[in-house]
Structure 1
Amino acid sequence: MTREPGTGNRESAGGARVGPVDAAAAAGSTRGNAAPREAADSGAPVRDSRPRRIAIVAGEASGDLLGAGLIDALRERFPGAEFAGIGGDRMRAAGLDAWWDAGELAVMGLAEVLRHLPRLLRLRAALRRRLLAWRPDVYVGIDAPDFNLPVERWLKDRGIATVHYVSPSVWAWREGRAAKIGRSADRVLCLFPMEPAIYARHGVDARFVGHPLADEMPLEPDRAAARADLGLPVDAPVLALLPGSRTGEIERLGPDFLAAAERVAAAVPGLRVVAPMADRRARDAFERVLAASPAREALAGVLDVIDGRARRLMIASDVVLLASGTATLEGMLAKRPMVVAYKVAASTYRLVKGLGMLKVSRYALPNILAGDDLVPELMQGDCTPQKLADAVLHWLRDPQAAAALAPRFMNLHRELRRDASARAAEAVAEVVSSRHG
């Protein structure tokens, strides 16, 4: 997702100049058959006869998937509605008039953001002008908070309803952001059940809609079918390695993961180790790490590197060794035992800890959702090859402990499985109806 600095509600210095559309809107223009400003400010619903106009902006693949589901569900509530904004192939297929592609926002990491910052600021300014000309009934920003929240704040100040879909991790760090998010969004749609209470403490309207991954993944995954799909033996122990999808993650975690896999393979005859790579860049990074690893020869004939299919592999595996992040949620929904690890640069870790920015004692999503230590977490100095191997071997050697996880994971899966797209659409429709009847 985009990490764009500068979330103020004024146009940044790099933004485009104010044009006729901006000036007209500031004067209370009713361009695009929008309701008169006086009526909108009165708080009473304003009815008009034109089809609903819904602006949606999503960055990267996960946002595109959420956006497509939302469009489909909103169309049931608003037949004939028009959808426009920024999205990818799935949102276009669902009927979005994509003014720009979601790939325009797919910028990761501070260095990359800084390199693309002038372009991102121009894009944001152009989007604002386009939105004022189109005058949507509601703007839905999906994730990409550093891009979407300033746009939402700017539109909200001009009387346009705004919804932010996917809460930033206010439960983990910088809870005070919740109030700032509320100044941008009329309503926040949350994927996790513990999030609305945090927003409520700051007077922000937030709704738990469920997680689309929980809707998508089966409650009872078919391990035998997954193994058949991947060509894995039915009875061989399988360890899945997921050291992350970004180059930096792979470079930090890959050496320890490979060294841990070597230790596990030495202790477990017939072990198969499989590492799925998200894309070409991730595969290149992992293969560089593997080429430099002392474990390379020992893992020859044991380790397979595959393209994609991470979710299928997790279902097929006996244990998953993975980087902390969304993948831990997928592992939970796959009902598989896991060992969660993470490392950041030492300077970053010292800064975050020193400033007290982290507000959680647990890092893995299954543990956070359960409020319990269901799976081991090995962070920073604890993320060593021996500790990782010992944690993996615990699951392989204690099948009863592994089996006991399944019902806990099932309960969490059911809690998140709420038909997220339908609930999100209902929440958006309520915002539209409260403004326009």
Structure 2
Amino acid sequence: MRIGIVVGEASGDILGAGLMAAILRKYPDATFEGIGGERMLARGFNSFFPQERLAVMGLVEPLKRLPELLRMRRTLIEHFSDNPPDVFVGIDSPDFNLTIEERLKARGIPTVHYVSPSVWAWRQKRIIKIARSVDLMLTLLPFEASFYEQHQVPVCFVGHPLADDIPLQPDRAAARQALGLEENTTYIALMPGSRGGEVKLMGPEFWATAHWCLQQRPDWQFLVPAANAQRRAQIESQLSEVGSLPLTIFDGQSHEVMAASDAVLMASGTTTLEAMLLKRPMVVAYKLAWLSFFIISRLVKSRFFSLPNLLADRELVPEVLQKQVTPERLGGELMRYFDDRTHAAQLQQTFLDLHGQLRCDASEKAAAAVLQLIGKGEH
């Protein structure tokens, strides 16, 4: 069995490695090729290009790299057309992968896309291209599967690998011990984002919120995970301008920082799902440049932007946007979790229920769906 896979992000490498491991348990002689990351390479994957060459973010960076990206995509289409695999799996990176899938499907090669684009939230007309491109969509979240069913696109909800990896009952004491923190102190995680633009907009608001909170709760301590050395330098530069705070910066370790905290103030993103799985009360905030917000707010179709609220289809956690992002609003929302312990406990129970829904042994389920598609489901 020969399987083509293309991943463009580190998160896709995790999914790809899990998928490979599950297929290899059933078909030990299966081979895999395309573009993969370090975890996939460790399982014997044959990568035609370094995975990080696909990991481009934003609007301008991909344009600067466009000739190289188009050349890579053309090479992959030609290779898999001339040497048809049993199945081709594009993992995330929809702008790159869907065109490959469309071309290969037209040549009779079975195609799978693993991780739904946010088509249910915005640019919904992409569903037309998706239907043309894939024989099967694998989704991490249940509400995504419902959207594809409504549009007659074959779909399988497989659950989220993070939900498999994170224990249902996280150990806060162990996380504090690992970070060298005190057991009987109240810690608030401040997570203004992993990209420079996010930290530029959100960082000052979060530091001001910490100062506001200290006026009500002088004993609180704050924890900040910096995504990389550049973000750490940026955060330290911002903090040098706002006055002293009882705050500790960590290099990476966002998972441990959230697990050790009593509550989290965070920029919107996939880490909101991780905070939910860690059962941490959270306040989710986001600011965009006004023109970006003007455009996106007219394109987005969903009522919510944080994953806990999207999963529950109701407002579980506060979502604070644009001009509403003030120290008084953010601090007040944080304070509510400590003033109303019943509310916080109910929220954590709901998070536990949602965790159970997502805990499906995602890699095994994804492998079973891929194998069934190509008639290799029983072995």
Task: Establish whether TM, by shorter chain, passes 0.5.
Answer: yes
Which position in structure 2 is the counterpart of 1:210? 159
Which position in structure 2 is the counterpart of 1:305? 249
1:284-309 deviation digits (Å, cap 9, x = unpaired): 33223223x32xx231xx01111111
Which position in structure 1 is the counterpart of 2:326? 384
Which position in structure 1 is the counterpart of 2:304? 362
Choose from 368, 373, 379 the match for 1:426.
Answer: 368
C-alpha distance in 1 between matches for 2:238 and 2:3? 46
Segments of structure 1 that go 5 or more residues without pairing to the other structure are 1-51
Which position in structure 2 is the counterpart of 1:245? 194
Which position in structure 1 is the counterpart of 2:259? 315
Code of the aligned partner of 2:260 = A
Give secondary structure in 2 for the equivalent of 1:172.
coil
1:434, distance to aligned residue in structure 2 (A): 7.5
C-alpha distance in 1 between matches for 2:105 and 2:247? 53
Which position in structure 2 is the counterpart of 1:336? 280
TM-score (norm: length of structure 1): 0.84
1:133, distance to aligned residue in structure 2 (A): 3.5
1:201-248 deviation digits (Å, cap 9, x = unpaired): 222101100001100100000011111011111011101011110111
C-alpha distance in 1 between matches for 2:135 and 2:338? 48
Give secondary structure in 2 for the equivalent of 1:94.
coil
1:351, distance to aligned residue in structure 2 (A): 1.7
Q: Contact 1:196–1:207 (CA<8 Å) still a contact in 2?
A: yes
Q: How many positions carry a matched residue from both structures?
A: 378
1:173, distance to aligned residue in structure 2 (A): 1.5
Which position in structure 2 is the counterpart of 1:93? 42
Q: Contact 1:77–1:429 (CA<8 Å) still a contact in 2?
A: no
1:241-282 deviation digits (Å, cap 9, x = unpaired): 111101111111011011001111222122110100111232
1:6-59 deviation digits (Å, cap 9, x = unpaired): xxxxxxxxxxxxxxxxxxxxxxxxxxxxxxxxxxxxxxxxxxxxxx10011111
TM-score (norm: length of structure 2): 0.97
Which position in structure 2 is the counterpart of 1:414? 356
C-alpha distance in 1 between matches for 2:9 and 2:146? 28
Which position in structure 2 is the counterpart of 1:400? 342
Which position in structure 2 is the counterpart of 1:67? 16
Choose from 26, 33, 52 the match for 1:103.
Answer: 52
C-alpha distance in 1 between matches for 2:96 and 2:84? 19
C-alpha distance in 1 between matches for 2:146 and 2:375? 24
C-alpha distance in 1 between matches for 2:125 and 2:211? 44
1:129, distance to aligned residue in structure 2 (A): 2.2
- C-alpha root-mean-square deviation of aligned residues, in Å? 1.5
Q: Contact 1:240–1:274 (CA<8 Å) still a contact in 2?
A: yes
1:335-393 deviation digits (Å, cap 9, x = unpaired): 0100000111101111223xx31111111111111122111110111111221111111
C-alpha distance in 1 between matches for 2:238 and 2:155? 43
Choose from 172, 191, 197 the match for 2:121.
Answer: 172
Choose from 257, 274, 281 the match for 2:206.
Answer: 257
> How much identity, in percent, do the aligned residues show?
49
Choose from 114, 117, 121 the match for 2:63.
Answer: 114
Code of the aligned partner of 2:239 = L
C-alpha distance in 2 between matches for 1:349 and 1:119? 30
Q: Contact 1:137–1:160 (CA<8 Å) still a contact in 2?
A: yes
Choose from 124, 127, 144 the match for 2:93.
Answer: 144
Which position in structure 2 is the counterpart of 1:135? 84
C-alpha distance in 1 between matches for 2:193 and 2:54? 20
